[in-house]
Structure 1
Amino acid sequence: MMLLLISSAIFTFSCKSDDDGGNAGPAAEGTIVAKVDGTTITTLEMVTFANLVSGTLSIQGNTGGTSSKALTLLINGIDGVGTYPLGGGANIANSASYMEIVVDMSNPMNTQTHTWQAPYDSSQAGEIKISEMTATHVKGTFSFSCKNVNGDNSVKNVTEGSFNIQL
């Protein structure tokens, strides 16, 4: 009997931790919430979605309006709850981006789009933590630094990010 209890305890503690992906964060159902350089943005449910195809999770959301902000998170080779780094090695293909889209209503062809991406060099730029994942739903948190590599080379810090989205 004692051997059975010891074996059960060893098996229980050697498995992957259920909280390996941390807490889910405060995002309401169907949204992404984050601070970009200290300013909170929240995406609209109608333009926020997540897709899981062939082991790749894509999460996208947009705030809408004429001065819109968007976030995109991409995890390649996802295998469930856990922490996924953004960069930090040649074999890590996870990425994230932040976009600002400003629509000129008097001349829509003059719409300006600025994109900051992570990672932007060989270092780890942040991480995405999946705290809950089912066949129909994904929740988690994220943070990263991103750079406008095709523009002014400015860097933005995206912190306190969370998502709560149907797949």
Structure 2
Amino acid sequence: MKKFLIPLTALLVFVSCKKDSNTNPPASGGNNTITETVNGVTTVHHYASAINGQSSFTGNYVMNIGSAENFPNTIELIISDPDNPIQAKTYTNTSGPIPLNIVYHEYSSAYNDNTGTVTITSLTATHVKGTFSGTVTSSADTKTLTNGSFDVDITP
């Protein structure tokens, strides 16, 4: 019986320990956030992140900046370049083959960009910062995105 109680007690002590953490996001903007105004309503997505690299499937260089937080409204910025790594500059969805896609989700509706611009103002191996705007459309509705900004870490 002692052989059973000692591991059980150790397990209960370990499981009941709680690591202190701050789960309250900052009030607005800052690191790891995406902010946009959609049809006049501003949303701040905390805990956003980005990935940056070369697709093993297409060979394109791709950066994906997004956040699933603040459901039901989510935002995703996808920048693609077939020839060069993503860099600090302005990308539009008319500047080459599939260079930019802005995807906005509102509940179960997905909106994709008709016109859009993403400007990367600062880019390092671990962080990306910039602005965006555009018009996104679903099968039944159009929304205007303004005052968009992102300030996020790049996940290795």
**TM score, norm. by length of structure 2:** 0.70
C-alpha displacement of 1:90 = 6.2
CA distance in structure 2 between the aligned counterparts of 1:141 and 1:164, rounded to whole angstroms: 9
CA distance in structure 2 between the aligned counterparts of 1:82 and 1:89, rounded to whole angstroms: 12
CA distance in structure 2 between the aligned counterparts of 1:140 and 1:90, rounded to whole angstroms: 20
What is the match of residue 41 of structure 2?
Answer: 39
Kindly provide the amino acid, as one letter, of the partner of residue 90 in structure 2.
T
C-alpha displacement of 1:43 = 0.7
What is the match of residue 65 of structure 2?
Answer: 59
C-alpha displacement of 1:130 = 0.1
| Contact persistence 1:51–1:58 (CA under 8 A) | yes
Name which of 109, 117, 132 aligns with 2:122: 132
Unaligned segments of structure 2, at least 5 residues: 1-27, 55-60
1:83 to 2:90 alignment? yes
CA distance in structure 1 between the aligned counterparts of 2:122 and 2:75, rounded to whole angstroms: 20
Aligned in 2, Cα 1:157/1:137: closer, same or farther, shift over 3 Å?
Answer: same
C-alpha displacement of 1:80 = 1.0
Identity of aligned residues (%): 26
What is the match of residue 75 of structure 2?
Answer: 71
What is the match of residue 49 of structure 1?
Answer: 49
CA distance in structure 2 between the aligned counterparts of 1:70 and 1:97, rounded to whole angstroms: 8
Task: State the Cα RMSD in Å.
Answer: 1.7
1:115 to 2:121 alignment? no
Kindly provide the amino acid, as one letter, of the partner of residue 162 in structure 1.
S
Name which of 145, 149, 155 aligns with 1:158: 145
**C-alpha offsets along residues 61-106 of structure 1, whole Å, 9 cap, x if unaligned?**
13435xx2100000002531100002x26624310011012xxxxx
Moved over 6 A (4+): none
Instruction: Give the secondary structure class of the aligned counterpart of 1:64.
Output: coil
Unaligned segments of structure 1, at least 5 residues: 1-25, 102-112, 120-124
Number of aligned residue pairs: 118
Name which of 78, 89, 99 aligns with 1:93: 99
What is the match of residue 147 of structure 1?
Answer: 137
C-alpha displacement of 1:129 = 0.1
Kindly provide the amino acid, as one letter, of the partner of residue 57 in structure 1.
M
CA distance in structure 1 between the aligned counterparts of 2:99 and 2:88, rounded to whole angstroms: 18
Aligned in 2, Cα 1:142/1:89: closer, same or farther, shift over 3 Å?
Answer: closer
